[in-house]
Structure 1
Amino acid sequence: MSGLRFDANLKWLFTEHDFLDRFAAAAEAGFAAVEYPAPYAYPVSELRARLDDNGLHQVLVNTPMGERGTPEQQGVTCFPDLVPRFRSEFLTALEYAVGLGADFVHLVGGMVPPGVSRDRAFARYVANVAWASEQAASTGVRLLLEAQNKRDAPGFVLETQAQARAVAEACDAGNVGVLLDVYHAQIDEGDLLRRIEEGLPEAFHVQIADPPSRHEPGTGELNFRAVFAAIAASGYEGWIGCEYEPLAGTREGLAWREELTA
């Protein structure tokens, strides 16, 4: 399993430092790549300099999300009445991804808005994904679709890993794939090793955290030795994003990288 590649999610890790200082902290801790959802408070040039100065690769950015506690807190990709906003925000995300040399834009699906049927929201989601796929086609940036668990994101438009795969397959464009998050998959669907076996052939990216509390591997209910073995056995060669809240400090909690992947 030594071939597994982990990247640091700078929203969650190294929060002991100001955001722009987290790049150096990640590099010093042995990470070769980073991801983070919201680069939009900083100019591309500043973020690119931090990447280059620390020898880091950018894996992904998310499409913008609204304020916590609002209907838009998980994005507006599925909002039928906010198509112009979605398109504008996606083009901004794509611009950042290109400028940062990122592999992916994660199209955050959104929670079904009040007063809108799930069917209508889902249809708009699929249409927006197809439109975004066309916009990204010439850039080399690929798009990610992620199902999120209903405990943390009630009403989220994508309900299962299989549904996320079906949307990606329906686009039939080659630049849309699944973000397989083992934390979300375990909470909502369980039978995680089967979810990995079914999902990894079509997954572009993987993220990890240990439920139920979303801390680092080895602190919760999952057997991460088996999880990492299953990922390695699948032939997956992409990055694995560390999207967890450290239990007692980022550096103190990184021993799992050696202990659970040996």
Structure 2
Amino acid sequence: MLRFTANLSLLFTEVPLLERFQAAAEAGFEAVEIQFPYELSIDQIQQQLQRHRLKLVLFNVDADTLLQGGEGLAAVPDKRDRFRQAVEQTLAYAEVLRPEVINVLPGRCLDGERLDEYMATFKDNLRYAADAFAAIGIKTVFEAVNTVDMPGFVIHNGRQMLDILAELRHPNLALQYDLYHMWMMGEDCGDFLRRHSEKIGHIQFADCPGRGQPGTGDGDFEQVFSIIAAYCYQGWTGAEYRPIGKTAESLGWFSAYRDGAL
């Protein structure tokens, strides 16, 4: 099944975040996702979703300074309390906005000698989050991120994700599979999608290298989109790329699907 969302953290950045909902709707999207929505109030987001008849599919638990080079929250042993506070914040937003999935970013370990401790902390925190979001009927996902862009990221390939999923065996837990990050790690994304689509709760994409729109790198989107459409994946597929040029000019890939040409 192919259903596309616009990631408002990376797309339509020509305008402020509050105005990107309208831009996405005007471009033909029926759903959006946001990495971290917390700069906006719950009411502001809900008003935009209702006004433009959009569904909010996904957002992340806060990750502290991860995007600025820090370690994040979810795997850091000394930040367990702060992670749980972040989950409470996310619950407040999720109870009103009702996303389909909430993403927990594992984060980095910048001290290799403590990696085992960080991994254990992440698994405990992931289980805690999956329990918390299950209570309101929302699926929890977690993702692998490439270690070229984010050195030290504790989960950085599909095998690690599958191992954690198998170890935790939590009924409310699934994978977030990001094609860009896994291509950067040299994985065969088409093969992974064919073999494990039933374990995936959300998919994101950008071309590789460069993280631009489809057609700006080496990614085989005809292949992966056809696999997503053909296999038993039931979730949404998020456009999470940095447009080369204006966002509207980057949407040629989307127009073909939106208009039924593919």
Which TM-score band applies after superposition, normalised by the shorter structure? over 0.9
Structure 1 counterpart of 2:76: 79
Q: Higher mean Cα deviation, 28-37 or 231-240?
A: 231-240
Residue 251 of structure 1 is matched in structure 2 by 248
* Partner Cα distance (2:49, 2:256) in 1: 28
- CA deviations on 1:187-222 (whole Å, 9 max, x unpaired) are 103222112223322000000100100011111101
* Aligned positions of 1:104-143 closer than 5 A: 104-114=101-111, 117-143=114-140
Give % identity: 35
- Supply the distance in 1 between the matched residues of 2:179 and 2:248 (Cα, whole angstroms): 22
The equivalent of 1:195 in structure 2 is 192
> Partner of 2:20 in structure 1?
22
Corresponding position: 1:171 with 2:168: yes
CA deviation vs aligned residue, 1:79-116 (integer Å, no higher than 9, x gap):
01110001101111122122211111110101014375
Q: How does 1:150-165 map to 2 (within 5 A)?
A: 150-165=147-162
Q: Who is 2:39 aligned against?
A: 41
Task: Provide structure 2 residue ranges, at least 5 long, that are not aligned to the other structure.
Answer: none
Alpha-carbon shift at residue 150 of structure 1 (Å):
0.6
Query: Which runs of 5 or more residues in structure 1 are unaligned?
Result: none
C-alpha change, 1:81 and 1:32, in structure 2 (3 Å) is same
Question: Which residue of structure 1 lines up, in the alignment, with residue 48 of structure 2?
Answer: 50
RMSD: 1.6
Aligned partners of 1:247, 1:240: CA distance in 2, in Å? 20
Distance (whole Å) between structure 2 residues aligned to residue 253 and residue 223 of structure 1: 17
Q: What residue number does 1:210 align with?
A: 207
Give the C-alpha shift of residue 171 in structure 1.
2.5
Provide the C-alpha distance between the structure 2 equivalents of 1:258 and 1:46, rounded to a whole number of angstroms.
29
Q: Distance in 2 between matches of 1:192 and 1:130?
A: 26
Task: Give distance in 2, aligned partners of 1:53 and 1:94.
Answer: 23
Task: Using the TM superposition, give the Cα deviation of residue 28 of structure 1 relative to its aligned residue in structure 2, in angstroms.
Answer: 0.6
Q: Read off the aligned partner of 1:220 and give its amino acid letter.
A: G
| 1:60 corresponding residue in structure 2 | 58
What's the offset of the Cα at 1:136?
Answer: 1.8
Scaled by the length of structure 1, the TM-score of the pair is 0.93
**Partner SS state of residue 117, structure 1:** helix
Residue in structure 2 matched with residue 94 of structure 1 by the alignment: 91
